[in-house]
Structures are given as C-alpha cells and as structure tokens.
Amino acid sequence: MTTYLLTDAAPLGEGRTDLLLADGVIAAMGADARARAGQDAVTIDATGLVLLPGLVDLHTHLREPGREDAETIASGTRAAALGGFTAVHAMANTTPVQDTAGVVEQVWRLGREAGWVDVHPVGAVSVGLAGEQLAELGAMADSAATVRVFSDDGKCVHDPVLMRRALEYVKAFDGVIAQHAQEPRLTEGAQMHEGVVSAEIGLRGWPAVAEEAIIARDVLLAEHVGSRLHVCHLSTAGSVEIVRWAKSRGIDVTAEATPHHLLLTDELARGYDPVFKVNPPLRTEADVEAVRAGLADGTIDIVGTDHAPHTREDKDCEWAAAAFGMTGLETALSVVQLTMVDTGRMTWADVARVLSRTPSRIGRVPDQGRPIAVGEPANLVLVDPAAVRTVVPEQQATASANSPLRGRELPGRVVATFLRGRATVLDGTPQDDPRAPRYAVGR
C-alpha cells in the first residue's frame, strides 16, 4: 500500500501539522511524520486545506439491485468518494427490497467489490415496505452485513403497532429505526409543500403537520419502549421543536437534515421544474431558517444527503408524473459550508461532528468518524474551502443528473479522500481513472 505524507494539514481547520498515512492508519503526526516518511512516500501539500475525518452518510439511495439504470453501487459510491465520504448507508427501497439477510449481504458485497467507500445496507422495517409485517430484522442484524439501521424510507411506518414492535425488536441488538415521517392520509396525491406557493400555482399541498404528527407519535413510542429512534430528513420548524422537546425529556431520538432542506425553498416550484420535486418537499424560508438553527444548536444531529438518483425519463416530464428525489453526494459538503460554515453558524469541527462522528455513532460504525490521531484508521478527506465551483450535473460521477443545484456556484472542493489509507480521490480525481495523476497537489 502506498504511504502518504500530508504536509501542513489543518485537522478540523485548527492549527497545522504533518501526517503520515501508512498501513491503513495515521502512523505519525507532527515532526515524527516527516522523520518516519520513507523515500517512497507520496507527499501531498495540504497548505490551505482543511483535514476532516471521512464523511459518513446515513441516508443514501444506491438503487441497486433493481434500478441500475438510475444508479449502481459502483457509480453511487464513486460519487460518494468524490464528495468526501468514506462510508454510506444504502437505503432499503431497492428491487427486491432489502428485507432479508440475503439481499443486504448482496448489497454489502457489491460495496466491498466496488471499493470506493464502506457500504452499510439499511434493512427494511416491513416486508416489501408494505407496512404490514415485520421484516427479518434479527437475521439482517446477524448477517455478514451486520445491519443496525432499519427504515422503510420512501414510505412511512404508519401503523403505530408495527412501529412499536419494530422499536422493541431492535433493542435486542442495539439497532435503530429510521422513520420517514409522512402521515399517508394527509399526503394523498400531494405534490409540494402546502402553503402560499402551492395555492398560487395549483399543485396539491403537503402539510407540515403530516410530518410533525408522525414524529410526535414516534418519539412517544420510543420513550414508552426505551428504544432508539432516528428521524429522517426533518424539514419543518414544527418538527425541530418536537425533537427539541423530546430531547429535553431524555428520549433517545436523533434527527437529520438534508442539504437541500438547508438551502432551497418551495418558491422554486413556481417554474414547475420536477428537479425540485422531493420527499419531503422543499418548505418555506422560515422552515429553512429553523432547520439551520436546529442543526447549529444540536437539536438536529446530522446531515444526511438523501441522495436519490433518477433516470432522465423519471424527471424530464410534467411535475405530477415525475419521481420525487434529488442527487446530493457530490455537493453535500459544499452546501453545508455555504449555509453553516461561511455564515458563522458552525466550525469545521462541527462539520466533522454532523457529517462524520455522529452518523457513525448512530449507525454503530466503530471504525468511521474516528478522531484524527495516531493509530486511528486513515479515513480522511482534504477539503479546499477557498475553491469555488459551478455545478454541472452531467459531469458528476453519479449515473443520474437530477441535481437541483445546476449552474450554482458552490464553495469548497474535495481534493483527496482516503479509505483506510488508500487514496480513492487525489487532486479531485477518482483513482480508477488511468488519466488520474499519481500524486496530489494543494490548490
């Protein structure tokens, strides 16, 4: 394995030091790093760059098996590496559904074969995502994939009895239920956020209470059974307040926000462009502000991309017929920098917390999100915070182009990503490309 010497790096944006990456770990730091680096070590000038632990996404849709026309595990994880991720959790709404040990092991093995990031399958809560019968939770937990996160994401576990049983069941192996909070009866035929914009442009609205009612129910169920609950893609000011209240009571609940709910609003629906159609929908400016505040004060624990690739046919159509979802793996870090770091709401250490350390803890992934210290696994990302780039979806590694950020200028660029000391990205280039440079530069 190649040895790398990172010079003048700034771990978490604070101070500068040298690091030696060897044998899959951070072998040395400071003056000792240069002293121990051999002649064969590849030197990377990290001047002006921020060093973070490798990012971990608790909410990724990789589509394989079943919808390889939209994404494959190989293409999706390649995009993840370019976004600075070293681990992703692959959601269960594939075809077939990830509701058995056999299917989650298939996804896990395909992730290992691809080699870009660690892939942790998310098991379905119910058989076929139908919301009627518990899936093989225990078998998936005991499989080679060691599943610890379970979700019917894309659909809500709307039956309170089934939700209670799932919360009780996963306690046996320290699992967590990740809920897609959407009351189905309140959102039948809904197309976007219910509010002024939906009324003016004539699209059926999706009320905030449809999300909030499920979160309120589920935090009480989690308290009742003493289990772990994770709220997926929280999007309303009311949801932030409910989670804040639940945490004040000591309920074991965590929550995530997506990059698009930190940045975009329902005003974008006025052009009827389905690229802005997403589940849950883009909300109001007041909701966006509340989500940013909740992330800043720790009410919202993490950022999850909800990377949801779709084929051109599923998005290049009228709004009502279009699929819900947006891509996000390659732009997530930049959006967090734009909305949270550059505005002074968060530091780079906070970014490491919400995009690496805490998602690792929630997903029970012990070798990711680790401190940047000697002896720790070398799962790392180097970021140039001063870079500016324009989003061109067709130039991204993901197999789909349904990014809502087309043409936007975003700050930050991933310069290098290391998975257990192996460079998956150098100088912003994925390392399976024979044209890729054999070394990385700073800026």
Annotated binding site for substrate: 61-63, 93, 279, 310, 324-325
Nearest-angstrom CA–CA distance, 231 and 23: 37
CA atoms in the 13 A half-sphere facing the CB of 85: 36
Nearest-angstrom CA–CA distance, 411 and 405: 13
Provide the annotated binding site for Zn(2+).
59, 61, 153, 180, 233, 306
Q: How far is CA 30 from CA 26, 45, 263, 363, in A?
A: 11, 14, 38, 32
Nearest-angstrom CA–CA distance, 244 and 33: 44
Nearest-angstrom CA–CA distance, 241 and 38: 54
Catalytic residue (choose from 306, 314, 350, 384):
306
CA 340 to chain CA mean position, Å: 16
DSSP secondary structure letters along 180-195: ----GGGSTT--EESS
Q: How far is CA 358 from CA 33, 116, 166, 210, 335, in A?
A: 28, 21, 23, 27, 18
Provide the annotated binding site.
59, 61-63, 93, 153, 180, 233, 279, 306, 310, 324-325
Task: Please classify residue 417 by burial: count the beta carbons closer than 10 Å to its beta carbon, then call 0-12 exposed, 13-18 middle and 19+ buried.
Answer: buried
Nearest-angstrom CA–CA distance, 61 and 349: 27
For residue 282, the 8-state DSSP code is P
CA gyration radius for the chain? 21
Residue type, 246: A
The residue among 373, 368, 384 whose CA lies nearest residue 418 is: 368
Instruction: Quickly count: other Cβ atoms within 10 Å of residue 247's Cβ.
Output: 17
DSSP secondary structure letters along 21-80: EETTEEEEETHHHHHH--TTPEEEE-TTPEEEEPEEEEEE---TTT-TTT--HHHHHHHH
Cα dihedral 147, 329, 84, 178, rounded to 10, equals: -30
Say whether 152 is catalytic: no
Instruction: Specify the 3-state DSSP secondary structure of 287.
Output: helix
Enter the tokens of residue 392.
């061109």
Any idea which residues carry the catalytic annotation? 306
